[in-house]
Chain A
Amino acid sequence: GESVGLHLPTLSVQEGDNSIINCAYSNSASDYFIWYKQESGKGPQFIIDIRSNMDKRQGQRVTVLLNKTVKHLSLQIAATQPGDSAVYFCAEGNAGNNRKLIWGLGTSLAVNP
C-alpha cells in the first residue's frame, strides 16, 4: 500500500548546527504535506506545511522542501537548539481534506549541547 516513511529514525546534532529531517512519500495524489513536532509527553504540534504547487516554504528557523519528482519531503531546522529535541512527524494528505492525513513513523531529533 501507499505510505509515508522516513529515511532516518534518529538524528543527533550539535547545538547550533543545522538539522535536516527527511521523509519519503509514495502517494502521487497527495498535494498537501505537513510537519509536526512532538515533545516527550505532549501532543503533536504544527510546525509548517506546504502544498504541492510549491517546492519550498520557510518559517521561523524552519524550511520545508518538497521534491515531487522523487516524492521526497524534508524539514530543515536552522541553528538547532536544545528545545528542538523532539520527534518530528511528516504527514501527507489532500488540501481539500487535509484532516485525513497519512502519518509517517517519526524521526527522533537529539540536540547535544
Chain B
Amino acid sequence: NAGVTQTPKFQVLKTGQSMTLQCAQDMNHEYMSWYRQDPGMGLRLIHYSVGAGITDQGEVPNGYNVSRSTTEDFPLRLLSAAPSQTSVYFCASSSLAGTDTQYFGPGTRLTVL
C-alpha cells in the first residue's frame, strides 16, 4: 500500500491564482481530512469528509473548497490564493471504526507571493 499520497510536494503561487492540492489514499478509509501547519501553531483542520459525497468544514475553512467524489481522492482547492495561505498542507485518512488513528501524507509546502 502506498498509504496517503499528496501532490505536489512544493508549489509557489502568485496572489489571486487558483490551484488544487491532490490527496489520495489506498486503504479504503472512509474519513479524509485536510490540515494546515504553520510555525508556532498546531495542526488546524480545514475540511474533512466521512465518505464519498459528504464534506464538512473544519476550524479554518475560509478560502478553501473540497469535494469527495470517490473514496480514494480528496482534493483541496484554493480559489484565489492569498499570502495568508502560505503553509504546509497535510492530508490524512482513517477508518471510521473506533479510535482508529489518522495516517498522514508527506505534505505540500505552498508559498503564495
Contacts and interface: CB of A to CB of B under 8 A. Distances in A.
Interface of A: 4, 32, 34, 41-46, 49, 51, 89, 91, 95, 98-106
B94 A99 contact: yes
Majority secondary structure of chain A interface residues (helix, strand, loop or mixed): strand
Contacts of B103: 46
Interface in B94-113: 94, 98-107
A30 B94 CA distance: 20
Given A42-B107, A95-B98, A103-B42, 14 more contacts: A4-B42, A32-B99, A41-B107, A44-B43, A46-B102, A49-B99, A89-B43, A95-B99, A99-B31, A99-B94, A101-B45, A103-B43, A104-B42, A106-B42
B90 A43 contact: yes
24 contacts: A32-B99, A41-B106, A42-B106, A43-B4, A43-B90, A43-B104, A44-B43, A45-B104, A46-B103, A49-B101, A51-B99, A89-B42, A95-B98, A98-B101, A99-B31, A99-B33, A99-B48, A101-B43, A102-B42, A103-B42, A103-B43, A103-B44, A105-B41, A106-B42
A104 B31 CA distance: 22
